[in-house]
Amino acid sequence: MALLAAESVSKELDGRLVLRDASVELHPGRCLALFGANGSGKSTLLRILATLWRPTRGEVTWDGKPVSRVRATYRRQLGYVGHESLLYGDRSARENLLFFGGLYGVPDLERRADVLLDEVGLTRFADIPVRAYSRGMTQRATLARALVHSPRLLLLDEPFTGLDAAMRAAALKRLRMSCDEGVAVCLVTHDLESGYEAATDVAFVRRGRVEPSAATSLEELRSEYSGEGR
Amino acid sequence: MEPQAMRAGRSGQFTRLVAKDLSLQWRNREALYVVGLFSLLVVLVFAFAYGPEFVPPGLGRAARHGELAKLGAAIFWSALAFGAVIALHRSGEADREFGAMGAIRLAGVSPTAIYFSRIVSIFIILTAIEAALLPAVIVFLQVESMTAMDVARMAGVAALGTCGVSTIGAFVSTMTASARGKESLLSVVLLPLVVPLLIAATKVSVDVFASRPISDWRWFSLLVAYPMLTAGVGLALFDSLLEE
């Protein structure tokens, strides 16, 4: 059984149907990469999976139960990276991690924060307010925030944005490590190389529908992707 | 099953939220100074425009105190209302700026804890403003008839009024947070809603400033009932307010 499943989910925004009967399943230890043109509905789907938006129609289930019924429990087990950092600009990365980790009741929190700051390469900048960070540094702090409570599910919307090559490689390594630990991952990205490298499954979001990709290599994926948005 | 041995009790989450709100306000305390100074300015302007000299000289001592009490109560609550609007604009700004409220929701924090933490942090901030306002009103309007007991009674009345402003303010400021033109919308929605509370608080405060027992318990009842009613409505609706 899928850990998380969206069945025939639709979403209407300002009178426009952004998602149309989209279905997707996420399994422990697997990483689903979702590609698609701008406005195809990828981020909308991720926000619905994260319970930040409600679907107009359809249902999302967690361990077979509708997430609307187990919302608080479900939310505490997911890590989400979206377009916004969901951080406090006046607080440093360390303070943000300590605050959010505290809300989750993470044990040995100080140590956990140090480990994550080291993993995302922010140890030297850990005590600087997030407001003073560059785009890439903010993205690293955002990734650390999403991982602070060791979630069972990761929903990542463009997680590689602003990261340099070394950090991108580190983020990919961390994603693979999470998958190896049994975490289910859903990744939305325009970065074909990184997405393909991280993914165990690949799909496209086309006009609000999720369609599995037929690509068996990066070249085939590039060719399939080049036809998107036309 | 939740990952690891994690369990942050509701009280722990609530405490963290209040501490976070207050520490963020403290870091941006220049804005709080502005709120405090603005409120004091209101007191000063009214005190010098209509101060003790305003009271006709022929009045007896009791009548003079009665006039000053009316003036003091009106000025105190007007200054607090203006200060509260500015403070409420500020509160929650950090939650909105980079979407941090979303991460709080995703941490499974109950809407009740979020709502009450906002009430408590707004209450503490407004109480700090009142701590500067009340002595200023007493000194500049020369309400010298007030005893220590009257000051304590006034602190109680102020606490009840502030509680009401906080319960409705936490709700309305969250409601208008993501709206276009939120600054003006907050004032437009909030001020009519607090009018009954301000009238009740002013009526009760007049008696306290005049060092006499409360003459009309209906106003006091409204002062007590208002925070309970607005907190009840806020609790019932806060979840749908936070969610889409």
Task: Say whether A107 and B105 touch across the interface (CB within 8 A).
Answer: no
Do strands A78-81 and A153-157 pair parallel, antiparallel, or not at all (unpaired)? Answer: parallel
In chain A, what are the domains? 1-77+152-159+183-230 (3.40.50.300)
More confident residue, A219 or A6: A6
Q: Which residues of A touch B106 (CB under 8 A)?
A: 50-52, 75-76, 78, 80, 86
Please give the tally of structural domains in chain B: 1
Instruction: Write down the mean pLDDT value for chain B.
Output: 87
* pLDDT score for A10: 95
DSSP letter, residue B134? H
Contact status of A106 with chain B (Cβ, < 8 Å): yes
Rounded to whole angstroms, the Cα distance separating A161 from A57 reads 31
Contact status of A112 with chain B (Cβ, < 8 Å): no
* pLDDT score for B167: 96
Q: For residue B1, tell me if it sits in a domain.
A: no
More confident residue, A230 or A193: A193
Task: Say whether B107 and A103 touch across the interface (CB within 8 A).
Answer: yes
Q: Which chain A residue has the Cα nearest residue B6?
A: A105
Q: Which chain B residue has the Cα nearest residue A77?
A: B2
Q: For residue B52, tell me if it sits in a domain.
A: yes
β-partners of residue A210 are A205
Task: Say whether A149 and B27 touch across the interface (CB within 8 A).
Answer: no
Task: Give the pLDDT band of residue B5 (cuts 50, 70, 90).
Answer: very low
Q: For residue B76, tell me if it sits in a domain.
A: yes
Tokens 């700004």: give the residue. B93
**Among candidates A86, A105, A106 on the partner chain, residue whose Cβ is nearest the Cβ of B103:** A86
Q: Which domain holds residue B112?
A: 10-242
- Give the whole-number percent of chain A exceeding pLDDT 70: 99
Instruction: Kindly list the distances between the CA atom of residue B102 and the CA atoms of A20, A26, B130, B231, in Å, as whole numbers in the listed order.
Output: 25, 22, 32, 23
Which of A81-90, B206-215, B222-231 is the least confident region?
B206-215
* pLDDT score for B92: 76
Q: For residue B98, tell me if it sits in a domain.
A: yes
Rounded to whole angstroms, the Cα distance separating B21 from B87 reads 12
Q: Which residues contact B62 (CB under 8 A, 6 or more apart)?
A: none
Q: For residue B2, tell me if it sits in a domain.
A: no
Cβ atoms of residues A45 and A34 within 8 Å: yes
- Give the whole-number percent of chain B exceeding pLDDT 90: 45
**Among candidates B3, B105, B109 on the partner chain, residue whose Cβ is nearest the Cβ of A149:** B3
Q: Which residues of B touch A116 (CB under 8 A)?
A: none
Q: Which chain A residue has the Cα nearest residue B243?
A: A52
Q: Which residues of B touch A84 (CB under 8 A)?
A: 98-99, 102
Give SS3 for B92: coil
Inter-residue long-range contacts of A13-21, CB under 8 Å, 24+ positions, other chains counted:
A13/A44, A17/A208, A18/A44, A18/A208, A19/A44, A19/A45, A19/A48, A19/A55, A19/A208, A19/A209, A20/A207, A20/A208, A20/A209, A21/A57, A21/A58, A21/A208, A21/A209
Q: For residue B5, tell me if it sits in a domain.
A: no
Closest CA to A100 of B108, B35, B182, B39: B108
pLDDT at B44 over 50: yes
Task: Say whether A85 and B20 touch across the interface (CB within 8 A).
Answer: no
Cβ atoms of residues A141 and A163 within 8 Å: no
Task: Say whether A88 and B100 touch across the interface (CB within 8 A).
Answer: yes
Task: Give the pLDDT band of residue B204 (cuts 50, 70, 90).
Answer: very high
Task: Say whether A85 and B99 touch across the interface (CB within 8 A).
Answer: yes
Q: Which residues of B touch A145 (CB under 8 A)?
A: 103
* pLDDT score for A229: 55
More confident residue, A224 or B109: B109
**Among candidates B5, B108, B244 on the partner chain, residue whose Cβ is nearest the Cβ of A76:** B108
* pLDDT score for B4: 45
Chains A & B: contacts with CB separation below 8 Å: 97
Rounded to whole angstroms, the Cα distance separating A148 from B106 reads 13
Q: For residue B3, tell me if it sits in a domain.
A: no
DSSP letter, residue A217? S
Q: Which residues of A touch B14 (CB under 8 A)?
A: none
Cβ atoms of residues B207 and B70 within 8 Å: no
Rounded to whole angstroms, the Cα distance separating B187 from A175 reads 47
Distance from the A225 Cα atom to the nearest Cα atom in chain B, whole angstroms: 31
The pLDDT tens digits of the residues spanning B57-82 come to 677 777 777 888 888 899 899 989 98
Give the DSSP letter string of B3-60.
STT----HHHHHHHHHHHHHHHHHHTHHHHHHHHHHHHHHHHHHHHHHSGGGS-TTS-
Question: Which helix or strand (DSSP H or E) is residue B223 part of?
Answer: helix B217-242
